[in-house]
Structures are given as C-alpha cells and as structure tokens.
C-alpha cells in the first residue's frame, strides 16, 4: 500500500494560483469521490484551505500521474508543473503531522488548521472514503497535535489567519479600534475568528454579513454586533472603516466598479479591505483606487515572519514530538516503501525537484 500527499500551498503557489485549485465546502465530498475514482485510490482525504489544497491518498496500485489527480480538482497541467509537490510514505505522514499542528502554516502554530484537517478527515470517513491506513494516520496526527499544544507554547499569540488580520487592522489604526466600524463578510470559521478578536480588542461597532442571514444574526448577537443582509452589505459599507472578507464562495463579491462607486458616496474617506478568502472575495484591481487599501492573505506574511521569530524553541520541541509520533506510527503500520515504480517516480516529471525535497517541508 502506497501512502502519499500531493498538492500546492502558500509556499509553492501565490494566492492567484491557489484560488484556482481551491474546492468550496459544498463541492468537497463530490471532488473527493472523483479523486478516488480517477486516481485509482483505495483511501483519500481532500483538504482545501486558504493556504493549501492537498490530496492525502493510499493505493494498492500504481497511481496515475499527478496530472490526472490535478484535473479532478480543476487544476491545469501548467500550474501543476510550476507549483505542485508530491511526498510519499513516512515523509507524507510527517507532513500531515506538521500541517495539522500548524507548523507548516503561514501563521506558525495556528489552531484553525487543526479544525480544518479534522473536518476534511471526518467528511471523508463518514463517506467511507478512508480505511485502515488513513484512519490510523489521521487519528495519530490529532493525538500528536494535542501533545504539541500541551507540551509547548506554540499556540499562544496570533495563531490564525483571522487573528493576524485583526492585528493588521490594529496597526493601521495605531492599536486603537475603539472608534472604528468594522464589517465581516462571511460568518464561517475564519469570519468568526475575526469577530472574536475584534471584540476582544475593543472594536466600536461590528457588522456581520452572510448569505445565511440567520447565521449572521446568531453571530452578531453573540458579540453585541449587528447583522446585515448579504444583498445590502455594499450599501452599508458607506459608513464602514474596515472590511474583512472571509466568505467561502467561488465568485468575486466586491468588484472594482462597486468599490469605485462606494468611494464616491464616502467622499473618498479611507477604506481598508482585508481579503482572507481563497478564492479571493475582492477584485485585486480595487487597490489602485484612491483612498482604498487592500490586503490579501499573502500580504500578511510580514506579520507572520515576526510571529515565527518568537517561536523557534517551541518549533524545535514540536518537531521532536512529531518525529516520535511518526516513528511510532510507522512501526505500527509496518509500511514498506516501494522503490521501483513508486508513486513519486511516476509523478516526478510533473514536479520540480526542489519542491519535493524532504527539507522543503
């Protein structure tokens, strides 16, 4: 049985490429089933987040080329050759453990990714798309995550994309959000994270807009905010200072012409837009408009670098915990890495060698 992970992430592909690979939650199960058939996989889990799209698979057969797997999630061969990676067996297990622990994230130590990995795994397991191998691998991964959280301080501080977005807003307004009006578009996991941090840091007024108005009302009530109907969010932005876009949808929500008209109504009063969604919710062209400042998920990297500097000792300890967990699991599974005609060798022509080097991950 071969075990592998194939995909793209924020290190190998910019956001304009990642958003082409992204799979929205409603289509996740359908795409996972398609991967199982087209990739001739015995077991499969598909993970799609703002920073990565990864296929975790196990197969008894010689797997098809990475190109065939990429087509199952709508990726182009060109993008794959430039930005894709494949990792096998023990290194695939280590990669999953680091991803689930937040060590491979843009925001090192983030906790949000753990929930996203669990959601992807549980969806695949409930649909009978996992079996003995991936069940053991993922369950051990979650056990290892718990150990890294309890034995180190890796999860303290700004540990999610949402919290870093709020940190950016604080910098823009000189650490004082008490006079600012903020709108969150999207009441999912990332949107909720933003609201929690905004409320904690004293934002004066929080507006929540979501396709499901009932969900917007529920979240706004919890934090003393106000719900806005989705079709009215653009009109409401006339009086908003900061907009955080975190809606999980495949279409652009704010187009350049919309924001251009909005700025006329605002008389060009400064507007800060933070787009943490993938695919992006806001047209990149709005950045050229006078008085508009747009930040997307990739522009948060400067904040992340600061975050990493304070976590070096914790990172080393986490890697020790992960290495121990990987060794224990591999001994239990007794996997034999097949050298001839391995999945990696079949896919090698499609993947740049520097990307799949073990040290990269």
Residue 9's pLDDT is what? 93
Q: Which residue has the tokens 């907009």?
A: 243
Whether residue 291 is predicted with pLDDT greater than 60 in this model: the reply is yes
- Hey, where are the domains in the chain? 2-154+311-360, 161-304
Point out the least confidently predicted range of 34-38, 225-229, 322-326: 34-38
DSSP codes joined into one string, 311-331? THHHHHHHHHHHHHHHHHHHH
Picking from 50, 53, 64, the residue whose alpha carbon sits closest to that of residue 276 is 50
Whether residue 7 is predicted with pLDDT greater than 80 in this model: the reply is yes
- pLDDT over 70, % of the chain: 82
Name the pTM for this structure.
0.69
Q: Which residue has the higher pLDDT, 307 or 135?
A: 135
The residues carrying an active-site annotation are 50
Average of pLDDT values for 193-209? 83
Q: In what helix (H) or strand (E) does residue 206 lie, and over which residues does it extend?
A: strand 205-210
Average of pLDDT values for 205-223? 91
pLDDT in tens, 151-200: 998 877 655 666 777 777 787 777 788 888 889 999 887 778 777 888 88
Q: In what helix (H) or strand (E) does residue 117 lie, and over which residues does it extend?
A: helix 112-126
**Which of helix, strand or coil describes residue 130?**
coil
Residue 99 Cα to chain centre, angstroms:
10
Average of pLDDT values for 28-51? 90
Pick from 158-167, 332-341, 347-356 the range whose average pLDDT is largest: 158-167
Mean model confidence pLDDT for the chain:
82
pLDDT in tens, 102-126: 999 887 888 889 999 999 999 999 9
Picking from 181, 113, 107, the residue whose alpha carbon sits closest to that of residue 145 is 113
Domain at 161-304: CATH code:
3.40.50.720
Residue 182 Cα to chain centre, angstroms:
23
Point out the least confidently predicted range of 9-18, 160-169, 334-343: 334-343
Domain at 2-154+311-360: CATH code:
3.30.460.30
Pick from 63-72, 323-332, 350-359 the range whose average pLDDT is largest: 323-332
C-alpha–C-alpha distance, residues 352 and 66, integer Å:
12
Q: Summarize the chain as % helix, strand, coil (round to 5).
A: 55, 15, 30
Pick from 77-86, 147-156, 254-263 the range whose average pLDDT is largest: 254-263
């Amino acid at each position: 049985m071969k075990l592998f992970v194939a995909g793209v992430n924020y290190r190998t592909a910019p956001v304009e490429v990642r958003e082409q690979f992204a799979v929205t939650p409603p289509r996740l199960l359908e795409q996972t089933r398609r991967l199982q058939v087209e990739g001739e996989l015995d077991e499969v889990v598909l993970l799609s987040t703002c920073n990565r799209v990864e296929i975790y698979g196990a197969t008894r057969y010689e797997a098809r080329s990475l190109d065939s797997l990429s087509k199952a999630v709508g990726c182009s061969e060109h993008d794959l050759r430039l930005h894709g990676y494949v990792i096998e067996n023990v290194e695939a297990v280590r990669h999953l453990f680091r991803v689930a622990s937040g060590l491979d994230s843009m925001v090192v130590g983030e906790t949000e990714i753990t929930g996203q990995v669990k959601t992807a795994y549980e969806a695949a397991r409930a649909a009978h798309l996992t079996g003995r191998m991936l069940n053991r691998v993922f369950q051990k991964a979650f056990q290892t995550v718990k150990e890294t959280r309890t034995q180190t301080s890796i999860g303290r501080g700004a540990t999610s994309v949402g919290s870093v977005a709020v940190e950016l807003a604080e910098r823009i307004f000189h650490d004082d959000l008490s006079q600012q009006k903020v709108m969150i578009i999207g009441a999912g996991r990332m949107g909720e994270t933003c609201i929690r941090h905004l409320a904690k840091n004293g934002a004066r007024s929080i507006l929540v807009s979501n396709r499901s108005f009932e969900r917007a009302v529920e979240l706004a009530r919890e934090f003393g905010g106000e719900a806005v109907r989705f079709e009215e969010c653009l009109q409401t932005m006339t009086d908003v200072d900061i907009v955080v876009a975190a809606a999980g949808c495949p279409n652009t929500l704010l187009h350049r012409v919309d924001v251009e008209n909005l700025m006329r109504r605002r008389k060009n009063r400064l507007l800060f837009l933070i787009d943490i969604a993938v695919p992006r919710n806001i047209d990149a062209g709005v950045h050229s408009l006078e008085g508009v400042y747009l930040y997307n998920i990739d522009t948060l990297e400067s904040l992340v670098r600061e975050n990493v500097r304070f976590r070096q000792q914790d990172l080393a300890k986490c890697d020790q915990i992960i290495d121990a967990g990987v060794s224990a699991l591999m001994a239990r599974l007794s996997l034999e890495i097949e050298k001839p005609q391995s999945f990696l060798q079949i896919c090698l022509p499609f993947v740049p060698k520097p990307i799949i080097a073990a040290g990269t991950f």
